[in-house]
């Protein structure tokens, strides 16, 4: 019961956000100055528009969470409302800072996953970026059949762990869809190959790199996905030891960075494998939010400082 109450509260907050944005874009239908939330009539219309009558009629939480149409409609409405709000001109004399606007609109991150993706890398980057406050969207590139008419959200990872994505890839990429501040691609095989061959994602990855927005990959992904698409041209990069020799092209720096744990060259951030995924993820936090936020996130996670020697005889560390 407590879980359903929390879910209802979060949904009500999202619905209110959509409504207030609508009012700001339509002044003739704006709220009275004293009202900070939609009244019952408007609220009912918004619930209906997002397909959420289920919850108001007392459907179990599991039924609501399994409703793909509800998730899709609500996520789409929220993304549209936030994008429209961010494009509104500021009022004359407004002293709202750019940093305040950034806080209001969280950084959007796409993490595509597939059958055979590396679970440690995928879960680590999702978890760390969410701890930092990013809006992380986990998108499955899998479909229920060869027609690709319907996405399959559950992916069986490289070691058999089942991970359920937030959305199917077609829901978040393509013409007219909001852009991402970062696209972070986990490795693993054959997951990297399946992500590489995902047609809906291909154009989005190329546009991300061409637009000089952050794009990142780890393990097999730099060599299997980024290299064949030409996304690493002019960038230093690294990859898993089994794949690093497949990097090349114009990468004159390869011999220098092949064994680096994380390589951050401008907008391109690459790393080596599951054991470096936490460092890679924290580097992405630093790129999105700055070094102070990276340190803030790393502190409670008790991240081992690089090359720290053991303090006690029985303390185990990776340091030789």
Annotated active-site positions, please? 219, 240
Q: What is the DSSP letter of 310?
A: P
Contact between residue 46 and residue 18 where contact means Cβ atoms under 8 Å apart: yes
Contact between residue 97 and residue 124 where contact means Cβ atoms under 8 Å apart: no
Q: What kind and span of H or E run contains 139?
A: strand 135-140
> What is the rounded CA–CA span in Å between residue 268 and residue 257?
13
Residue 47, C-beta contacts closer than 8 angstroms, at least 6 positions apart: 15, 53, 55, 56
CA triple 306-307-313, angle to 5 deg: 125
Two structure tokens written together for 319:
């340091």
Is cis: bond before 190, omega within 30 of 0? yes
> What is the rounded CA–CA span in Å between residue 31 and residue 46?
15
Contact between residue 89 and residue 96 where contact means Cβ atoms under 8 Å apart: no
CA distances from 272 to 1, 38, 114, 120, 145 (A): 44, 49, 19, 12, 33
Burial 162-199 (b: 16+ CB within 10 A, else e): ebebbbbbbbbbeeeeeebbbbbbbbbbbbbbbbbebe
């Amino acid at each position: 019961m407590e879980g359903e109450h929390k879910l209802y509260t979060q949904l009500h907050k999202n619905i209110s956000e959509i409504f207030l944005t609508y009012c700001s874009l339509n002044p003739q239908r704006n709220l009275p100055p004293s009202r900070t939330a939609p009244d019952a009539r408007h609220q009912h219309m918004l619930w209906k528009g997002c397909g959420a009558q289920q919850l108001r009629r007392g459907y179990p939480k599991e039924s609501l969470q399994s409703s793909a149409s509800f998730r899709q409609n609500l996520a789409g409405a929220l993304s549209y409302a936030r994008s429209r709000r961010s494009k509104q001109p500021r009022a004359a004399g407004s002293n709202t800072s750019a940093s305040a606007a950034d806080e209001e609109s969280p950084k959007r991150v796409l993490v595509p996953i597939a059958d055979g993706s590396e679970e440690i890398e995928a879960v680590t980057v999702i978890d760390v970026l969410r701890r930092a406050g990013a809006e992380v969207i986990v998108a499955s590139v899998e479909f229920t059949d060869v027609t690709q008419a319907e996405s399959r959200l559950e992916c069986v990872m490289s070691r058999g762990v089942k991970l359920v994505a937030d959305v199917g890839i077609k829901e978040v990429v393509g013409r007219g869809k909001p852009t991402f501040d970062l696209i972070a691609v986990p490795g693993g095989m054959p997951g990297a190959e399946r992500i590489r061959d995902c047609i809906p994602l291909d154009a989005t990855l190329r546009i991300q790199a061409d637009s000089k927005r952050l794009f990142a990959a780890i393990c097999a992904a730099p060599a299997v996905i980024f290299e064949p698409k030409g996304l690493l041209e002019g960038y230093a990069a690294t990859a898993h030891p089994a794949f690093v020799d497949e990097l090349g092209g114009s990468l004159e720096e390869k011999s220098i960075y092949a064994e680096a744990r994380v390589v951050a060259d401008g907008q391109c951030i690459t790393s080596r494998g599951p054991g470096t995924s936490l460092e890679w993820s924290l580097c992405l936090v630093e790129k999105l939010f700055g070094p102070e936020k990276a340190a803030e996130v790393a502190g409670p996670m008790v991240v081992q400082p690089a090359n720290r020697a053991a303090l006690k005889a029985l303390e185990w560390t990776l340091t030789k």
